[in-house]
Amino acid sequence: MAVQPSPQIGDWYKSPVGDAFEIVASDDDDDTLELQYFDGTIEELDREAWETLHPQPVEPPEDWSGSMDISPEDTEDTEIWAETEDWMRQIERMDYRLT
Q: Is residue 73 part of a domain?
A: yes
Residue 74 domain flag: yes
- Residue 3 within any structural domain of the chain: no
Task: For residue range 50-91, list pLDDT tens digits in order.
Answer: 989 889 999 988 765 555 444 555 555 555 555 556 666 666
Report if pTM > 0.75. no
Residue 23 in domain: yes
DSSP string, 28-91: TTTTEEEEEETTS-EEEEEHHHHHHH--EEEPPPS-GGGGSS--GGG-S-THHHHHHHHHHHHH
4 lies in some domain: no
Contact 36, 26 (CB under 8 A): no
Does residue 2 belong to any structural domain of this protein? no
Confirm whether 59 is domain-assigned: yes
Give residue 60's domain range: 12-98
The count of structural domains within the chain is: 1
